[in-house]
Each structure stands twice: as structure tokens, then as C-alpha cells.
Amino acid sequence: MSPTAESSPAGSAPEYPIRTERLILRPITADDAAAMHAYKSDPDAVRYVPYAPLELADVERRIATTWSNTRFAQEGDAVCLAVEDRATGALLGDVVLFWRSETSRSGEVGYILDPRFGGHGYATEAVGALLALGFDGLGLHRIVARIDERNTASARVVERLGFRQEARLVESEWFKDEWTTLLVYAQLDDEWRDRVHAE
Ligand SMILES: CC(C)(COP(=O)(O)OP(=O)(O)OC[C@H]1O[C@@H](n2cnc3c(N)ncnc32)[C@H](O)[C@@H]1OP(=O)(O)O)[C@@H](O)C(=O)NCCC(=O)NCCS
């Protein structure tokens, strides 16, 4: 699909799996539940994501409902993808691309790694593939990441990928029983194209 000012993700089903140098991004299935539970039950790993540590049954239920969606039918939809090590087949984590607005062609990324697989650039590589999917595949104009300012590892992921910090929203969210200061990062399609072509 070629991105144009008129293009819309509506009805888009990206081609899976998405391959990068070291990773496969593919739809999440019921078989992923146990491996996902290992990190989604870890209080440190879910500290800055919008759910509490999950029980295995929670993970199974979410996979059966929202997390296994593979298509963008309408704005508000999200596609979550498992991030798998091409070499070993291990589940390293998962990423999500939200389609936020049809009119504004905007999206948002989210990501989480199993802490055992941190520090290798896997999240950066996986989110880089989500940007390609969003800008090139779906024709989005703008993709944002909203990050708790204490989550410095997450901010480094998007900074490595060329996102600009646009805002620091002081104590803007009441999140997990405390005020949270959010950093808003964004990247535009043209910025992404310039960066990718320069690499
Ligand atoms: C946010 C999160 C995914 C970042 O994980 P991460 O391991 O730091 O990110 P990456 O996988 O991209 O790895 C980058 C690190 O690996 C290092 N690295 C090692 N080998 C590398 C390689 N071949 N390529 C790139 N980076 C490499 C980088 O230097 C970098 O370390 P640094 O940030 O200390 O400089 C992880 O902390 C996490 O899952 N947190 C919990 C969930 C969460 O908060 N999600 C975000 C919500 S907004």
C-alpha cells in the first residue's frame, strides 16, 4: 500500500510475519500465554504500562480478546505483535501499534520486553519495524510515544529511533495511585523517511 494524504489504515491487515535483522513480529496466539505471563506478571516490567501484574488467566483472556487482533478496521483499533528471536524462536516481548485518528492519520506505539532480553537493542529494532508498518504500510502521518519521565530506558528507545520530545506534561496523569509526569515524543512520516533514507 502506498501512503498518500488520502490513505487510511481502514481494513488494513499487515502481512505477517514482519521480519527484521534479528526478529520476527507476528500475531500473538494462545500458545504465547505462558511466555508472556513470565514478564507481564513482573511488577518491575509492568510498572509503567497500563495494567497491574497479570495472572496467567488474565493473559489468556486478553490474548483471546484484544491482543490477538491483526487488523485495523477502524480508528481506536490496536494491533499487538509478539516479538520473537529469529535465531531461537524465543518470545522476547511484545509491541503494539494503536491507530488513534483517521482524520489526523495518527498512531501511537507501545512496547515491553521480557527483562531477561533487555540490553540488546531488541525493543529498538521491534519499534523501528512498527514505524515502518505505521508510516509505510498504513500511511500514518504522525506516531507518538507517551512515556513516564522516570522510564529512562523507554525514552532512550524512542530517542534512538528519531522521535522528538514535544512536551513534558507535569503531573498530568493519576496513574497507579500517584501523579505521573508524561513525556510526549513524536515523529512525522517525512522525518521518518528522511532518517531511514539517510541510514
Ligand atoms: C522500555 C524497554 C523495552 C527498554 O528495553 P531496552 O533493553 O533498554 O531497549 P532495547 O532492547 O532497545 O536495548 C537497548 C539497549 O541495548 C543496548 N544494545 C546492546 N546491543 C545492541 C544492539 N545490537 N543494537 C542496539 N542496542 C544495543 C543499547 O546500548 C541500549 O542500552 P542503553 O539504553 O543503556 O544505551 C524495557 O525497559 C521494558 O520492557 N520496560 C518495561 C515496559 C515499559 O516500560 N515499556 C514502555 C512503556 S512507555
At residue 12, the pLDDT reads: 74
Residue 146 counted as domain residue: yes
Q: Is the CB of 111 under 6 A from ligand 1?
A: yes
CA 7 to ligand 1 center in whole angstroms: 32
Q: Is the CB of 120 under 6 A from ligand 1?
A: yes
- Total number of domains in the chain: 1
CA 10 to ligand 1 center in whole angstroms: 31
CA atoms within 13 A on the CB side of 50: 6
At residue 11, the pLDDT reads: 72
Residue 4 counted as domain residue: no
- Smallest CA separation from ligand 1 atom 42, residue: 112
Residue 188 counted as domain residue: yes
Residue 10 counted as domain residue: no
How far apart (Å, rounded) are the C-alpha atoms in residues 31 and 160?
32
pLDDT tens for the chain, residues 1 to 199: 334 444 678 777 788 999 999 999 999 999 999 999 999 999 999 999 999 999 999 999 999 999 999 999 999 999 999 999 999 999 999 999 999 999 999 999 999 999 999 999 999 999 999 999 999 999 999 999 999 999 999 999 999 999 999 999 999 999 999 999 999 999 999 999 999 989 8
How far apart (Å, rounded) are the C-alpha atoms in residues 31 and 34?
7
- Which CATH number does the domain housing residue 24 bear? 3.40.630.30
Q: Which domain holds residue 133?
A: 18-198
Q: Is the CB of 38 under 6 A from ligand 1?
A: no
Q: Is the CB of 156 under 6 A from ligand 1?
A: yes
At residue 4, the pLDDT reads: 43
Residue 9 counted as domain residue: no
Residue 12 counted as domain residue: no
Residue 8 counted as domain residue: no
CA 183 to ligand 1 center in whole angstroms: 17
Question: Any idea what the Cα angle at residue 129 is, between residues 2 and 21, rounded to 5°?
Answer: 120
Q: Is the CB of 144 under 6 A from ligand 1?
A: no
CA dist list (Å): 71 to 44, 98, 189, 197: 30, 11, 21, 28
Q: Which ligand 1 atom is the nearest neighbour of the CA of 154? A: 1
Q: Is the CB of 122 under 6 A from ligand 1?
A: yes
91: β partners: 84
Residue 19 one-letter amino acid = R
Q: Is 84 helix (H, G, I), strand (E, B) or coil?
A: strand
At residue 95, the pLDDT reads: 98
User: Exposure string (b/e) for 108-117, b if CB count within 10 Å is 16 or more?
Assistant: bbbbbbbeeb
